[in-house]
Structure 1
Amino acid sequence: MADLHFELVTPEKLLRSEEVYMVVVPGTEGDFGVLAGHAPFMSVVRPGELSIYSNLTTVVSRIRVEGGFAEVNEKGLTVLAEQATEA
C-alpha cells in the first residue's frame, strides 16, 4: 500500500513531516487509524498517545498530544496539536 503523508504541527513549530504507513490518533469519539487513501475526515483530538507505524505491526514512534484537531484530506493527515511530546 502507498505511504501516507503525515504532518504534526504545534503552535511553536512543525514537529513531523514524513511518509508513514499508518497513524493512530486519539480522537474524542475514540482512537482512529489513518492509512493512505482514507476518506476525508476531521476530528477533535483528545489528550492521549499518537502512534506512528512504519508497517502493519511496527510502531516507530509514540507522541503524547494534548488536544487539537486532526484533518485527513487527499494530501494526507495533518494533526494540529496544542502540545506534543515524544513518549
Structure 2
Amino acid sequence: MAGLHFTLVTPEKQVMSDDVHMVVVPGVEGEFGVMEGHAPFMTTLRDGALSVYRTAGGTPEQIRVSGGFAEVGDAGLTVLAESAEA
C-alpha cells in the first residue's frame, strides 16, 4: 500500500501529486530515499533523476530534475524543482 504523499512542482506546473511507496531523490550530498514516516528535513537538489516507486518492489518511474529543494514533513515529500521531465 502506498503511504507517502509525493508532490513535484516546477515554476510552470504541478508535475505529480500522488501517494507512492518510496521516492529516491538526488540531493547535493548524495541520493536519499524517502518512505512514509521519514524524519522531517530539507535539502537542496543536484541535477539528476528522481526514482518514484509506486509500489514495493515495483519498477521505478524516472523523472529528471534540475535544481531546487526537497522537503520532508508531515504532509509527505515535496520537491520544488527548477525543471522536471519524465
TM-score (norm 1): 0.93
In the alignment, which residue of structure 1 is the partner of 2:83?
83
Q: What is the CA deviation profile of residues 25-77 of structure 1, one whole-angstrom value per residue up to 9, with x for unaligned ones?
A: 00000000000010001010000000000233223410000010000001100
What's the Cα RMSD here?
1.2
Unaligned runs of at least 5 residues, structure 2: none
In the alignment, which residue of structure 2 is the partner of 1:34?
34
Q: What is the CA deviation profile of residues 1-47 of structure 1, one whole-angstrom value per residue up to 9, with x for unaligned ones?
A: 66100000000011100000000000000000000010001010000
CA distance in 2, matches of 1:2, 1:9: 20
One-letter code aligned to 2:9 = V
Identity of aligned residues (%): 60
1:38–1:72 contact (8 Å) kept in structure 2: yes
In the alignment, which residue of structure 1 is the partner of 2:44?
44
Q: Which moved more, 1:55-64 or 1:5-14?
A: 55-64
2:2–2:20 contact (8 Å) kept in structure 1: no
1:50–1:62 contact (8 Å) kept in structure 2: yes
Unaligned runs of at least 5 residues, structure 1: none
TM-score (norm 2): 0.94
